[in-house]
């Protein structure tokens, strides 16, 4: 039933759904302006023609028996009581389908608006968002407004599951894509630098970032302190370090997260990485390094005492072998001042190029 004509007093309407899936219903009076609403001295609400006691508010919320009902309201001003406006509705109405409506993708730096829509057997539909709680596996909701979570993995896009929950009803879910336009500009850049050291198990060896603007610069990653910053997830770390690797050739591995540096420090013209160390004795040291694609992510295999960094993703170039030297004097110290440079890498952002310098 449509709203009836108001006989006197300020114009107002009853707003609310005409179909409710559950027993709970809610309605609100709306006015043309707040000034007109300020003239109201009292409110009366009527359910199925009966005056509701102690409901002197512009809103009405209640849990009702299932079926067809009529809600009505009138207002009191200095001119007296208005006429009663009414609207018909049904609660406990079974929905044929319920979906989460809204955009398929949201940029990380924007917001998206979503609604829970129920469709009934007569092909009518109703917005029932206020009956559900919306959550996401990546981001937060305020009513129906979705704010994506922070991109901690420096990926151009990622999936999130939206869920609409209501007690006593099956959850409604939807997959969306969260994009990051600021990350997409780096798609042709490398993501991870992997550095392997061969044929020397006696090293005290560290890896670090040498950029003053980078948080945790010159904080070293090494065996027993494998993550920089400490406590970070492998894909979010700046540097990963292996423990001693008991293999015939590969004994140490470092990984530098170029993708995270590019997205977190977009104004930096270059990034510098060091591998420093000492051996039980001075001598030659060989190894190899390779760049992985921007979409690659760092992982950590095994656990304490046997950590070996790895990468999910493709190679960006071919493996480069190197030969250098290591100084003697390994004494268990991992302080940067006690160790000499084995390798120095510089990644030039503008030219997308990596240079490597070995110890003479």
| Cα 242 to Cα 298: distance, rounded to the nearest angstrom | 12
295: confidence class by pLDDT, cuts 50, 70, 90: confident
* pLDDT tens, position by position, 2-61: 444 445 678 899 998 888 888 889 999 999 999 999 999 999 999 999 999 989 999 999
Examine the pLDDT at 119 and tell me if it is beyond 80. yes
Predicted pLDDT at 94: 83
CA 155 – CA 149 distance, rounded (Å): 13
Given a cut of 90, is residue 360 above it in pLDDT? no
pLDDT at 304 over 80: no
| Closest to 350 in 3D by CA, of 238, 227, 267 | 267
Whether residue 180 has pLDDT greater than 70: yes
Residue 150: other Cβ atoms inside 10 A: 9
Mean pLDDT score, 57-70 = 94
Confidence of residue 305 (pLDDT cuts 50, 70, 90): confident
Domain ranges of the chain: 12-91, 97-182, 190-358
pLDDT of residue 184: 65
Do 12-91 and 97-182 agree at the fold level? yes
Q: Which CATH number fits domain 12-91: 3.40.50.450, 1.10.10.10, 2.60.40.10, 1.20.1740.10?
A: 2.60.40.10
Give dist(CA 206, CA 219) in Å, integer. 9
**pLDDT(306) > 50:** yes
Q: Can you give the pLDDT at residue 120? A: 85
CA nearest to 127, candidates 10, 13, 17 = 17
pLDDT of residue 342: 96
Q: How far apart are the C-alpha atoms of 192 and 273, rounded to whole Å?
A: 12
pLDDT digits (tens, 9 = 90+) for 273-294: 999 999 999 999 999 999 999 8
How sure is the predictor about 122, in pLDDT bands with cuts at 50, 70 and 90? confident
Q: What fold does the segment set 97-182 form as a domain?
A: Immunoglobulin-like (2.60.40)
Three-state SS across the chain? CCCCCCCCCCCEEEECCCECCCCEEEEEEEECCHHHHCCCCEEEEEECCEEECCCCCCEEEEECCCEEEEEEEEEEECCEECCCEEEEEEECCCCCEEEEECCCEEECCCCEECEEEEECCCCCEEECHHHCEEEECCEEEECCEEEECCCCCCCCEEEEEEEEECCCCCCEEEEEEEECHHHHCCCCCEEEEEEEEECCCCCEEEEEECCCCCCCCCCCEECCECEECCCCCHHHCCEEECCCCCCCCEEEEEEEEHHHHHHHCCCCCEEEEEEEEEECCCEEEEEEEEEEECCCEEEEECCCCCCEEEEECCECCCCEEEEEEECECCCCCCCHHHCEEEEEEEEECCCCEEEEEECC
Listed range (148-162, 234-248, 288-302) with the worst mean pLDDT: 148-162
Quick one: tokens of 73? 């309201």
- 197: β partners: 252, 287
Average pLDDT across the chain, whole number: 91
pLDDT score for 346:
98
pLDDT at 101: 97
Among 15-24, 105-114, 221-230, 345-354, the minimum mean pLDDT is found in 15-24
Residue-level pLDDT at 153? 67
pTM of the model as a whole: 0.56
Q: In what order do the strands lie in the sheet with 239-241?
A: 227-228, 239-241, 250-257, 190-198, 283-293, 320-326
Q: Which of 52-56, 118-122, 229-233, 314-318 has the lowest mean pLDDT?
A: 118-122
Query: Mean pLDDT across the stretch 321-345?
Result: 96
- pLDDT, tens only, 160-176: 999 999 988 899 999 99
Contact 287, 270 (CB under 8 A): no
Query: What confidence score (pLDDT) does residue 8 get?
Result: 64
């Amino acid at each position: 039933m449509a709203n009836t004509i108001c006989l006197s007093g300020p114009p107002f309407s009853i707003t609310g759904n005409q179909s409710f899936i559950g027993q709970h219903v809610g309605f609100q009076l709306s006015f043309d302006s707040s000034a007109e609403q300020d003239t109201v001295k009292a409110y009366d609400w009527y359910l199925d023609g009966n005056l509701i006691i102690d409901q002197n508010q512009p809103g009405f919320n209640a849990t009702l028996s299932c079926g067809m009902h009529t809600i009505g309201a009138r207002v009191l001003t200095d001119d007296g009581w208005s006429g009663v406006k009414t609207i018909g509705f049904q609660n406990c109405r079974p929905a044929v389908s319920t979906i989460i409506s809204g955009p398929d993708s949201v940029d990380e730096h924007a917001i998206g608006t979503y609604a829970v829509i129920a469709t009934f057997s007569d092909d009518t539909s109703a917005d029932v968002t206020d009956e559900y709680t919306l959550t996401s596996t990546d981001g937060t909701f305020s009513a129906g407004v979705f704010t994506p979570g922070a991109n901690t993995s420096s990926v151009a896009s990622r999936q999130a599951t939206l869920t609409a929950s209501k007690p006593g009803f099956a959850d409604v879910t939807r997959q969306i894509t969260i994009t990051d336009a600021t990350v997409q500009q780096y798609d042709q850049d490398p993501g991870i630098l992997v550095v392997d050291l061969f044929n020397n198990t006696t090293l005290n060896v560290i890896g670090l970032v040498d950029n003053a603007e980078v948080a945790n610069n010159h904080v070293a990653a090494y065996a027993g302190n494998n993550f920089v910053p400490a406590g970070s997830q492998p894909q979010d770390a700046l540097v990963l370090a292996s423990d001693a690797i008991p293999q015939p050739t590969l004994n140490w591995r470092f990984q530098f997260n170029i993708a995270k540096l590019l997205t977190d420090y977009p104004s930096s013209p270059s990034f510098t990485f060091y591998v420093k160390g000492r051996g039980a004795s001075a001598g030659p040291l060989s190894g190899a390094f390779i760049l992985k694609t921007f979409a690659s992510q760092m992982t950590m295999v095994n656990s304490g005492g046997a950590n070996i960094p790895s990468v999910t993703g493709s190679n960006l170039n071919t493996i480069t072998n190197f030969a250098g030297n290591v100084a003697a004097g390994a004494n268990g110290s991992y302080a940067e001042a006690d160790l000499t440079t084995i390798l120095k890498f510089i990644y030039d952002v503008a030219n997308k190029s990596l240079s490597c310098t070995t110890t003479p």
